Every structure is written in C-alpha cells, then in structure tokens.
Amino acid sequence: MQVSVENISTVEKRLKIQVPAEEVNPQVDARLREIGKQVRLKGFRPGRIPFSVLKQRYGPQARAEVIQQAAQTSLQQAIEQESLRIVAAPRVEEEPKLDKESGLEFNAIIETYPDIETINVAEIAIERPQVSVTDDDVNEMLDTLKKQRIEWTDVERKPGEGDQALVEYTAKTEEGTVPEEGKHRLAVILGESGFEAMETAVSEMTAGEEKDLTLEFPADYGEATLAGKTAEVALTLAKVQEGKIPEIDEEFIKSFGVESGDSDELMTEIRKNLERELSQAVNTQLKTQLADRLTELHAGLEVPESIVTGEAHNMLQQMLRGADLKVTDEMLEHFRDPARKRVRSGLLLGELARQNDITIDGAKVRSTIEEIAQTYEEPREVVQMYYNDQRMLEAVENSVLESQVVDWVVDHAKVTDKEMSFQEAINQATQAAGQ
C-alpha cells in the first residue's frame, strides 16, 4: 500500500491511498466464491456454479463490497502508518476506483489535532488568590440563610427599607410592549433589589395604587428585552409585605439538613460549604488565567473546525436551554469565536497533560462524584448514575484532569500570591466562568 500526505492546513490533510492490484483482485475473487456458496441459480447445483457465471452475474456486487471494505481497512492502516491523531471520521472525496491493473485508488480528507511544540510553563505568570473563609464570611452566609426563611406578612402602608413590594407592570419601548399580553410580576425588596428606579417609584405608593412613569431598567435585568433600556411603564403595586427574620432555633437548623438541631454543627457545615465553594472558585480563577496565558502564547494555533462547530453548538444550546427556538447557522456563527478560543485553550491544556505525563487520578474522580452526590437525597444512587453514564463520567474526568494540570502548573510557573477576600474570589471566579 502506498500513502502520500498532503497538508491542506496544520489540522487538515488529504491522504492519497493506493492499494496494489495483487492485493485487491484476489479479494474480489474470494468474495465471488463466498457468494457462490450462498446463492441458488436454476440449472446449477448449490455450490457448483461455474466461476465465469458468478463473475458475469455477481461481479459488480462483489467488486462494490470489496471496494468498500478495502477502502475502510486501508484508510485505517494509513492513519496508523502515518501516526495521525484524527479528530473525526475521515471523508472520502470521491468514490474509490478499482482498476484491474493499478488496483484501488482514492483520496480522503481528515482533520487532525494540531502538532504543538513543547510548552514552556516557566514563561507563564499567574496570580494565585490567597484567601480563606473567615468568621465574618460564615456569619454573612448565616444571615443569607435567615433571609431565605423570612416570613412575609401583608401590611397596609407604603413600603420601606427591607419590605417586599409585589408589583405588576407592562413596559413600552421603541421595539414594542413587554409583555405582549398580560403583565409581568416582580418582587422587589427595598434596599436589596438593585433596581433603584423601581424602588423609588414604589416607595411612594400603597397597595392597589397604579402609576404611569418612565423607568430605566438595569443593564443586568432578567428580562433581556428590557435590560439597559428606558421604557414607559404602567405600574401597579399589588401588595406590601413586611418580613420577619426567623430565630436560629432547632426547627430553623433542622430545615437545612442538620438533624441534631445544634447551632455549632450548622456553623461547621456552613464553613465546609464555603470552603468547598472557595476551592472551586480559586481553581476556576487559576484555570482561566492559565488558559488565557496559553492562548496568548499560541495565538496562531489552528484548531479543527469540526470541534469548533460542536462547541459553538453546545454554547448555543446552553443559552437557549428551555427556549423553544430553532438553531440557525446565523446563531451558531455568533458563537464561533468564543468557541474557537475555548477549544484552543482546551487543546493546550490537554497537550500540557500529555507532554508531562499527567493522567486522570481515579481516586479524585471518585471523591469529586461523591462530593456532588452529597447534595442529593440518595447519594449512592447518584454515584452509580455517574459511573453508568459514560458522558457524565467523562465530564467529571475532564474536569479533574484540568484541575490536575492547573495544580502542576502552579508548581512550575511564575506564581505571585494575591491577597483577596472571600467575596472578591467568588466574584472574580463567576466573571471568569462567564467568559
């Protein structure tokens, strides 16, 4: 078999494959004899059909079957012979041709992973967050938990600081009215909502009162069609409610899964959860920095378009989750650049692992799955579910491997420690994860 490789790009190649006639022709004859044992022809005993008759009657079928099988086999052998790391299934350009004298000839296009030179981690500079969970962080989280259990009671007065205003509204912009039918309902806690214009408006109203006014919606408002826009709003204050923060008693503590009802145990659990969240946040920050530095050092690295397309599709599906919209090429195109960046950084992280013999730690995979499972009512069933679902298991394995790579890089790169608070670490990680 002769194989020549033409580089279309650093990640796309054309294989020209030729299998000698002396290898292929006997396969056609052998296939004809197999057919002769299976078919029945009038005038001939089973298995006694002359070869010339078989060739005339079943020759095209035998040739087609041998061409298909020989092309698949030789293509796989060519990939192994040339040590090519392919990304997806090869694409045969034209129908393979079988000539009695020259043999089987065909071309195939393949996508490969890029060849990446040795990555010098010593050139990479990273800031490592220096942060720990303090008593203030634990107490702040306890306050948050208490607010989650607030009991709201209707009151007949104007809302004040800390009160909850239940409003209904329609908003008219240049693009139209939102919603098109009915009204939006919104719960606004005065002093905490971040929607100051709305808070100011309702603070002068009483339950049942209606008002028409112009409001500027926050840039991060949950309704995308109104975010950052100014609208003419028809507003109704439906209810004003006063909140009662619960006492930290046995009932309150047990409501968060601490069966003993002991306050010290609750505080310990809060600290553990915050430390777990902080560990994930620090890892996210380090991984994002590493990915950014790697892509800066390898900005010209070509990546396979099939992987980019798949990643763009995944990103779009995540954004559209729950929405009844059909994915279009235009929508996918919007995600191509961020998808390409994500694929490039993923390939570079994977290459770092390969170059430095970093392999998946099975024990860490197990502990990660068990940690996830602890947040469910039936942890054992969740663990089993992960190990029975290859896609879910691979997702955890990839995450663990990336964390191992980050840990390895921190030990070998230029690392500067940076002091920050718990909330700063969480905010920066959230921002990094959204990139």
CATH number, domain with residue 217: 3.10.50.40
161 and 220 assigned to the same domain: yes
CATH number, domain with residue 16: 3.30.70.1050
Average confidence (pLDDT) over 370-382 = 90
Burial label, 148 (beta-carbon count in 10 A; 0-12, 13-18, 19+): exposed
280 and 213 assigned to the same domain: no
Q: Which residues contact 343 (CB under 8 A, 6 or more apart)?
A: 303, 304, 307, 308, 311
129 and 155 assigned to the same domain: no
Burial label, 406 (beta-carbon count in 10 A; 0-12, 13-18, 19+): buried
Average confidence (pLDDT) over 301-316 = 92
101 and 127 assigned to the same domain: no
Q: Is the predicted pLDDT of residue 173 greater than 70, yes or no? A: yes
What's the one-letter identity of residue 325? L
pLDDT in tens, 269-281: 999 999 999 999 9
The tokens of 270 are what? 């809060």
Concatenating the DSSP letter of every residue in 10-25 gives: SSEEEEEEEE-HHHHH
49 and 165 assigned to the same domain: no
324 pLDDT band, cuts 50/70/90, is low
State the helix-helix crossing angle for 390-412 and 379-388, rounded to 10 degrees.
90
Is the pTM above the cut of 0.85? no
240 and 335 assigned to the same domain: no
185 and 278 assigned to the same domain: no
| CA 9 centroid distance within chain | 27
Instruction: Give me the chain's average pLDDT, please.
Output: 92
Task: Evaluate whether 177 touches 171 at the Cβ level (below 8 Å).
Answer: yes
pLDDT above 70 covers a percentage of the chain that reads 99
Please give the pLDDT value at position 435.
60
Q: How many Å is the maximal CA-CA distance in the chain?
A: 104
The answer to whether residue 187 sits within a structural domain is yes
The answer to whether residue 218 sits within a structural domain is yes
CB atoms within 10 A of CB 423: 11
**Which of 225, 244, 263 corresponds to the end of one domain?**
244
Q: Is the predicted pLDDT of residue 8 greater than 70, yes or no? A: yes
User: Which stretches of 163-299 are DSSP H helices?
Assistant: 196-202, 250-254, 263-297
- CA-nearest of 102, 97, 106 to 21 is 102
323 and 426 assigned to the same domain: yes
What's the one-letter identity of residue 337? D
The answer to whether residue 141 sits within a structural domain is no
- CA-nearest of 89, 90, 97 to 70 is 97
Please give the pLDDT value at position 322.
62
Please give the pLDDT value at position 39.
82
Q: Is the predicted pLDDT of residue 351 greater than 80, yes or no? A: yes
Query: Of 168-182, 217-231, 324-338, where does mean pLDDT reach its minimum?
Result: 324-338
Q: Is the predicted pLDDT of residue 131 greater than 90, yes or no? A: yes
Measured CA to CA, the distance from residue 208 to residue 236 in angstroms comes to 7
**How many domains does the chain fold into?**
3
Q: How many CA atoms lie within 13 A of 109 on its CB side?
A: 11
Please give the pLDDT value at position 374.
86
The answer to whether residue 144 sits within a structural domain is no
94 pLDDT band, cuts 50/70/90, is confident
CB atoms within 10 A of CB 402: 21
The answer to whether residue 338 sits within a structural domain is yes
Please give the pLDDT value at position 430.
86
Q: How far is CA 420 from CA 133, 270, 301, 416, in A?
A: 11, 20, 34, 13
260 and 376 assigned to the same domain: yes
Average confidence (pLDDT) over 96-114 = 92
**Which of 244, 276, 295 corresponds to the end of one domain?**
244
The answer to whether residue 140 sits within a structural domain is no
Q: Is the predicted pLDDT of residue 380 greater than 70, yes or no? A: yes
Measured CA to CA, the distance from residue 300 to residue 288 in angstroms comes to 19
46 pLDDT band, cuts 50/70/90, is confident
The answer to whether residue 116 sits within a structural domain is no
Burial label, 117 (beta-carbon count in 10 A; 0-12, 13-18, 19+): exposed
CATH number, domain with residue 387: 1.10.3120.10
The answer to whether residue 142 sits within a structural domain is no
Domain limits at 83?
Answer: 2-111
Average confidence (pLDDT) over 3-30 = 94
190 and 126 assigned to the same domain: no
Q: Using the 8-state DSSP alphabet, how is residue 121 labeled?
A: G
- CA-nearest of 305, 316, 308 to 339 is 308
Please give the pLDDT value at position 327.
74
- CA-nearest of 312, 351, 302, 309 to 11 is 302
99 and 186 assigned to the same domain: no
6 and 45 assigned to the same domain: yes
Q: What stretch of H or E contains 348?
A: helix 336-355
